[in-house]
Amino acid sequence: MTEVYKLEINPVTRIEGHGKITVMLDEAGEVKEARFHVTQYRGFEVFTKGRDFREMPVITPRICGICPVSHHLASAKACDDILGVTITPAAHKLRELMHMGQIVQSHALSFFHLSSPDILLGFDAPVKIRNVVGLAERYPELAKKGILLRKFGQEIIKTLGGKKVHPWHSIPGGVNRSLTPQERDNIAAQIPEMKSIALEAIKLIKGYLEEGKEEAKEFATVETAYMGLVRDGKLELYDGNIRIKAPRGRILDEFDPKDYLKYIGEHVEPWSYLKFPFYKSLGFPHGSYRVGPLARLNAADNIDTPQASEEYALYKQISDDGIVPYTLYYHYARLIEALYGIERIEQLLSDPEITSSDLRVTSKEINPEGIGVIEAPRGTLIHHYWVNESGVITKVNLIVATGHNNYAMNKGVEAVAKKYIKGRDIPEGVFNRLEHVIRAYDPCLSCSTHAVGKMPLKLELISSAGEVIKEVVRG
């Protein structure tokens, strides 16, 4: 009988949350199977039952310390729906302003802190230097600019919500704080420098992708559909319809987010706590799709800010049909979105209503359910609450950005494993390439499983009989 060995990367590093990659090898060292496991246990959907729905915009951001704003806003939108209200224009703009701050800070974190060590120092660089500290030593000015860009977004969140992490600003029916003219002017004064940083980062990633074009287009590339919010066909991150495009750009569907259950199903595998969402009309796995920056740019037709629109036009030229399927190009798309976020902040700040004090709509109505959908930095985020006549939560469904990408991450890991693993002696750079498949999607595993957890970094080769024949531990 052919003996099978299991190579385990546990946990995957430089992502938010904890997961592991296992690669099954036969005795010849050829890859038999590869999987990305999410090993955290989900819980928020269960323990929020029995809570008053008005508490959810404060409770659900605790799912994650990286993207609490996304949960805060999606939850508030679901609560608005339960109340049956349309928030004021000023409240809408202030929520979007905080959301753009979140987009900018999260994308800066992903590119400058988590992914650029691989890009600038190389997949094969020693693990001791292939990190944000090594990056700062080699490229101090670039590292400093990345910190400034992230700080810019964080300070917007803090200004509106009182703190950078787990802010409290959106409430059912609106927001609880206005923006002063002085605060508006302080943010606006930083915009030229932030645009410059974003444009410099875009130039950097384009140079990297062009220099290694062949590998960049092959690396972990999979064929899927694409999903994202659009408004009149343009990129939209706060409101709009959900659009799903086929791999080559044909629009498969466009629908009101409140109808998501009619279009999106969830497949379950016993080896992961993370579900596999899919487009129901095509079934699983053929209906698998991707979300996040690259998927959003593929799903949209244009961008409604000037400089991001110019860059988007160049992005569309990468392929003949305007669809970019290449996984490493998530980094490029992410930076285009960061530029869009900065420009959208500028647009919002120039609107006189941004300093209005007309912030909240009240209602005594309690509908039996409410749905809030937003584009989190990592992709489409869905909060769906069911309540009784007193407003007490009876059921919760959360479909988080990382979950949508589960199928693509698994297939990407398998593709990279089959290309680079030949035998049991596997160089460190190959391990890192496998991890970078996941980093490209910038997953938030705490979000997707709605829980927390931690474990040591351990690599194992295990025989089919369960014998550990090789073990490597990294700090």
Residue numbers belonging to the annotated binding site: 45, 64, 67, 398, 444, 447, 450
List % helix, strand, coil for the chain (3-state, nearest 5): 45, 20, 35
Contact 252, 244 (CB under 8 A): yes
d(CA 412, CA 450) in angstroms, rounded, equals 24
Cβ(285)–Cβ(222) below 8 Å: no
Contact assessment for residue 292 and residue 442, using Cβ atoms and an 8 Å cutoff: yes
8 A C-beta contact, residue 300 and residue 234: yes
Pair of tokens at residue 13: 């590093």
Helices (H), 244-362: 260-263, 293-299, 306-316, 330-349
Sign of CA dihedral 299, 201, 36, 237: negative
**Secondary structure element (H or E) that encloses residue 167, with its range:** none
Strands 289-290 and 225-231: parallel
From the annotation, which residues make up the binding site for Fe cation? 67, 447
The alpha carbon dihedral of 323, 263, 234, 448 has a sign of: negative
- Give first-to-last CA distance, the chain, whole Å: 36
- The two tokens of residue 301 are 């037709």
Tokens 């669809």 correspond to 323
CA dihedral of 408, 9, 425, 417, whole degrees rounded to 10 = 0
- Taking the C-alpha atoms of residue 25 and residue 34, their distance in angstroms, rounded to an integer, is 9
| Cβ atoms of residues 98 and 175 within 8 Å | no
Amino acid at 196: S
Cα separation, 315 vs 177, in Å, equals: 38
Compute the radius of gyration of the chain from its Cα atoms. Answer: 22
Q: Which residues are annotated as a binding site for Ni(2+)?
A: 64, 67, 444
Annotated binding site for Mg(2+): 45, 398, 450
Helix (H) / strand (E) containing 140: helix 140-161
Cβ atoms 459, 423 nearer than 8 A: no
Whether the bond into 11 is cis, omega within 30 of 0: yes
